[in-house]
Amino acid sequence: MSHIDYENPVLASDLLKQAEDANPNKVDFEKVLKNIDPDNRYKICQECEHFRSSLRQCKKCGCFMPVKVRISWSECPIGKW
């Protein structure tokens, strides 16, 4: 089990660097987070009949939507965005 070091928290930039280092396909993680409107995507999800608000999850794909809406190549399983 890993030890959590609360005095030296891991920064998002550190996680991004680790992901890039371990990325065999050399996905451009900067592009993953750019050129999308996550707020608009999430609003569409919240208005959808397949959105489970208590879990912030889509009933169709099962994804945790606050994360999925920020990934540029992700798509709504029923084509709403």
> Could you tell me the two tokens for 23?
């990325």
Residues 6+ apart with CB under 8 A from 75: 81
What pLDDT shows up at residue 61?
94
- Confidence band for 36, pLDDT divided at 50, 70 and 90: confident
pTM of the model: 0.59
Provide the residue ranges of all domains of the chain, joining segments of one domain with +.
12-17+27-81
Decide if 65 contacts 51 (C-beta within 8 A). yes
Decide if 16 contacts 22 (C-beta within 8 A). no
Computed over every residue of the chain, the mean pLDDT equals 80
